[in-house]
Amino acid sequence: MRDGSQNISGPLMIIGKSGQLGIDLARAFRFVDGVVCLGRGDMDLCDLGSIRSITRSIKPKVIINAAAYTAVDQAEDDVERARAINATAPAVLAEESKRVGALLIHYSTDYVFDGRKQRGYLEEDATNPLNVYGTSKREGEEAVSALAGRFLILRTSWVYAFHGNNFVRTILRLAAEREELRIVSDQVGVPNWTGALAASTFELVSLMMRPGVSPNSGTFHLSGDGATNWYEFAREVLNLADSFGYWRSSAPEQKRKLKQLIPISTEQYPTRAERPRFPVLDSSKMRSTFGVAMPPWQQQLRDAFGDLKAAVSGA
């Protein structure tokens, strides 16, 4: 049994089992008795009655909501659905978590900030989202804070995995298709691997469920140290892909075609939704309150490639 799992007794409900983070959460909590993992086919987050009835039937002690509407550009034209999943559904989950006495873990985003501070954002800094996605996530935060009993709102950023749709997988795919890639270099943030996020979440739940420990409900930043831009992140992804033998082991049917990576400005790559330029999260409050710290983003990326290589080799 994994260290700390003895502090966690089920039922434990993970929402978003097929998403990037949900897959690794299910893996991290697999040794906990009574884990129930729910996907779109199990719980429709746009059906509030479904959320209520399923939660009341399971009566979980912990609810981890890893489901979200994350299509940032699409959300600009799909406002109703983005708000339903990112704001209204968390509000109902907050109400139901309080009703059954469950700890609620809810993830949010660096996009609640406008990125104009030019240094790491603290939890107490004023939010000012620039797009529909960020606005809907802020509304979800406000609902959880107002309606839940015991809760942790965990803000993170630039989430990636080797499953699902994300920047890392896109770069690796395009590197096998094109000789040249142009990547934005003036948007700065912190990449975070779902494996590290899931491990840190496990540690937090174990601490929160430990007998005799007073709950520390509130909003916390959960992100690695350091910061980078999309261009430098892409370059590091490609360097590690080469050094870990990605093209031979993980994608033997592909071959790296890319020869040139070119930095460009945000203005040279217009998008439907405006992005914050420097939404870097300061996670010092997480360390001082819980003693939980995510690895630096470079180490997370190395760990992610190492995890992928071990999975491919069957180690």
Strands 180-184 and 260-264: parallel
Name the catalytic one among 107, 111, 121, 133. 133
- Rounded alpha-carbon distances, angstroms, from residue 166 to 22, 158, 264: 14, 9, 20
d(CA 252, CA 192) in angstroms, rounded, equals 26
The angle that helices 20-28 and 194-208 make with each other, rounded to 10 degrees, is 50
The position carrying tokens 């993980």 is 250
Strands 159-160 and 192-193: parallel
- Catalytic, 133? Answer yes
- Rounded alpha-carbon distances, angstroms, from residue 237 to 95, 163, 183, 218, 231: 41, 15, 13, 34, 10
d(CA 308, CA 225) in angstroms, rounded, equals 22
d(CA 95, CA 147) in angstroms, rounded, equals 6
For residue 188, give both structure tokens: 């700065």
Q: Are 204 and 156 in contact (CB under 8 A)?
A: no
Structural element, H or E, at residue 97: helix 89-100
Residue 213's CB is within 10 A of a number of other CB atoms, namely 11
The catalytic residues are 133
